[in-house]
Amino acid sequence: MTFDSEYRASDANVTDDENISDAESIDSVEPFEGIHGIEGERFSQTTGQHSSLGLEGPTTSQKRRGRGGRPRGQRGGGKGVKRGLRRPIEPTGEFKALHSQATMAFLAHNYDEAEDLILQALLINPEMYEAHNLLSEIHAARGDKVKALSAAWNGAHTRPRDPEMWSRIARLILERDNSKESLRDAIYCYNRIITVDTTNVEARYQRAALNHEIGYKKKAANEYEQLKKQLPHDTTVLRHLAEIYIELEEPDRALRYYRDTISHLQSNEPDVVTSFTWSDINIVTELYGFQRRYDEGLVELKSLARWLLGRREDVYWETYTQDDREWDMDDEPRRIEIPEYVPGEHDISTYGDGLPLELRIKLGNHFEWLDPEDQQTGAKLYDYPDLYREAANALRGQNYYHEALRYYEPLQQVSEYTDTPYYLEMGACYRAVGLRAEAEDCFNTVLDIDSRNMAARTQLVQIPQNEETSREQRREKVQKGQGSNNLEHAPLLAPRPAPQSAKQTALEKEKTRDEDVQALFLRREELKEEAKMGDESSKAQWMAATKALIEEFRDNKVFYPIDKHHRFYGYSREARNMAGRPKHELDAQLEKSKSILETYDGQQIQVPEDYCGIAFHVWLDIFLEYGMALAEAGDIKSAYEVIATAFHTNVFFHSPDSQYLIHVCWFTCALIANDDETLCNIARWFMKDYQFVTDGYRLFTALNRLCDSENSWFNCGPSQKYILRQLKAVDFSLIGEARRKTLFQERASYTTKDSNGDPIQADDMDVALLMLYGHILYAGKSYAYAVNYFLRALALDPTNATIKLSLALGYLHYALKRQAENRHHILMQGLALLLEYYDSRQESSSYSEKQEAEFNVGHAYHILGLTHLAIPYYERCLDLSMAVQAESMSCKGEDFVNEAAVALQGFWAASENVEKAREVTERWMVI
């Protein structure tokens, strides 16, 4: 058995991932799960090449042992197990009978019976290839390609030295799908073929192509290098090598191979060239271009073209480099002027028409041969669309936008070339020449294909709105030669970007992205004032620009780690690794410096404070302003999504100030949408992060007061339980140490911690919290329980008129319930507290508070049905209206005149005193 040592040795420097399928050979059998999910056996060979490959060799315990378990040396040492494949075992008679019956059933199309019989045969002799092959044919006849492939895979391992079988398996794998796992399995099959026959060119071609497709470029290059040794001057191998070395940024290696082959062919095929084609000349020219050796590339192109056209000896043309008269269609007027040129010495077709259009375009001054104005069926556009694209790109690269559009526009008729880059390039040209409508169409087409395309969004919002050039004006400029630059002085070839490393490419891409984002941000700021003034066009553009900025920010995975508790330390890999370090280490470093951290290897990391040159606090404003704008436009769902995106960003998640602003904006959007559920959830965040702060409880109450919803979340189960937990946490803080031990579970209600990480406890009972919970119970008609908490509040603040009113109403409503046992006593308690409230308000110097007391007492009597007692209070409420309105000029207050007038109107109308009802209506209720 032979082994492809050159292939193994050539892969010593590639990664372990690339070598995944080349360490196997075919002597011993070990379990292997092939075809990703199909169990089989992989036959591998232990060879003595470990040291040459830089791999660890087998240990002493792993070496083959002879009789008695003694280690075998290279010679002697007794008999050992014979290396190599064993002779096939003769199948049993029972196997032959079952196999024959299965074959007959298969021929009779009785596949179920055939499968049962062949499976029984495999239980007897699983090493027989014929049984596996028949099982594969049965599954194939049913149309089950997966099972057919599985059976063939298992059968192939019974004949590991059969190249045809492995080739068939590889084809079946590739026909099934092109996933990475399938490609690796196919490579494994070609490994087995090459192990048996190292000269199998087709298998090497396939293995190289598959490695290239997976992305193992170095491995594929090594494979083609081996093919080049077998086929030294084969141009097919050279083409593949050129493609891979361009991707590996080593075009000079491929060019050297081509130069050697050209020298060889020119010495062996000086007159009749058969193996070197125009495609090869095109590749050679491209290789010069990637190295930015344009002049040499032009010289080589013309020289090789003469060779293929049979004019290799016409070297005098190399001295005339000022123009391309050699490739004119006719001898006159320019070619005939050359003294060395002899008309008729060579056929005229070896000059102008002889040079293919693809290569003529590379000369740079022959774009007119494409005839972009030709709209007929047989136009060059349909034969050479790639050349149109190349010419347009070259002209655009030199800022000849008018001329570039002549080649871009016809390409719209060729759907294969109208991709996203095409519309971006053509849109940029339209914008440069002032065709605003056409530019917008191009960029909108890109957004239809990819709604998050940053380049299209940036270009779209930067299009000037007040300047536009007509198509007729553009055509006149082109015809007069008044383009962006003078085309006559343009270089022959557009400069090709130099090959760059992956790092350089990433840096260039990052720089371009930053420029696009900053341009978009500046355009947004320009439109901001006009949008605020109500200009609908400016507002629409402002919204589009803001949305594009947010999507660009959101697409950066650095800001959205899997664990949102990981802080932001930068964009580099080292900075991302910092986020996974223990919190106490990072906190210790941040105490020394708020912006500089140190990695384990001592490298310092500067924590960025901006993204794309825009400070993070400005990014937060962008998110919140856009969320508010969406809410005002009625798209509340999108508004919530934008604000939630800002909330989950690690840059803002760990900033208390940012979180505060986010939640303020969040409940503002909820107020706009009248969404009481979201209001309650956001208010709970304030009470959690600012626990035992009175303003948090007041905010919860105020937000629910402002929201007018049919189904109130103010007194729903979750809200009631949450406020009760807050109340218990306060009680736990205030009770004695002995009682705390029996109620330790209440410690879990602490949600706010100080700078040392210790829970913050309440210093005193909060009256606002007691009143809040009491009113939640009151709103749920649990008046008896509400009275208990109102009494606790009254004990802490005995002179508070609001507490007295709440307590009075609690008693009155409780007295009206059926379950009340001593209704009269409860009513007296309520009325007594009501009058105490009235007296407290009457002592006030504010007319608004006095009017409030008159109305509330009158309304309380109204509830009890004591209208004769309610009327005087309502009338005094009306009498105070003028004083309240005068007072509200300096201090805004609430006027209860409308409510009192409606109540009086109802009283008088119900008692049939129509005159008084009309009088109240005309005086107080007419607008």
Tokens standing for residue 357: 């259009």
Average pLDDT over residues 607-633: 93
CB 604 within 8 A of CB 597: yes
pLDDT tens-digit series, residues 675-710: 999 999 999 999 988 888 999 999 999 998 888 776
CB 111 within 8 A of CB 138: yes
The verdict on pTM exceeding 0.85 is no
pLDDT tens-digit series, residues 124-152: 888 888 888 899 889 889 888 888 888 88
145 closest CA partner among 163, 172, 179: 172
Going from N- to C-terminal start, the domains of the chain cover 5-52+91-264, 364-489, 512-568+607-671, 844-927
Residue bearing tokens 């089989």: 40
364 C-beta neighbours (distance < 10 Å), count: 17
Write down the pLDDT at residue 355. 80
- Check pLDDT > 90 for residue 550: yes
* Residue 740: pLDDT band with limits 50, 70, 90: low
Q: How far apart are CA 267 and CA 265, in angstroms?
A: 5
Average pLDDT over residues 276-289: 88
pLDDT tens-digit series, residues 148-197: 888 888 888 887 888 888 888 888 888 877 788 888 888 999 998 998 88
pLDDT tens-digit series, residues 666-681: 999 999 999 999 999 9
Q: Is the peptide bond before 333 cis (omega within 30 degrees of 0)?
A: yes
187 closest CA partner among 315, 307, 398, 34: 34
Answer whether 5-52+91-264 and 364-489 agree in fold. yes
* Residue 547: pLDDT band with limits 50, 70, 90: very high
622: Cα within 13 Å, side-chain hemisphere: 28
Residue bearing tokens 């001593």: 822
- Check pLDDT > 60 for residue 8: no
Q: How far apart are CA 385 and CA 746, in angstroms?
A: 76
Query: Residue 316 — φ and ψ, nearest 5°?
Result: -65, -20
Average pLDDT over residues 824-829: 95
Average pLDDT over residues 581-606: 52
* Residue 647: pLDDT band with limits 50, 70, 90: very high
Write down the pLDDT at residue 87. 62
* Residue 342: pLDDT band with limits 50, 70, 90: confident
Write down the pLDDT at residue 587. 53
5-52+91-264 CATH, one of 1.20.1250.20, 1.25.40.10, 3.40.50.2300, 3.30.2320.50? 1.25.40.10
The CATH code that applies to domain 364-489 is 1.25.40.10
The more confident residue out of 383 and 236 is 236
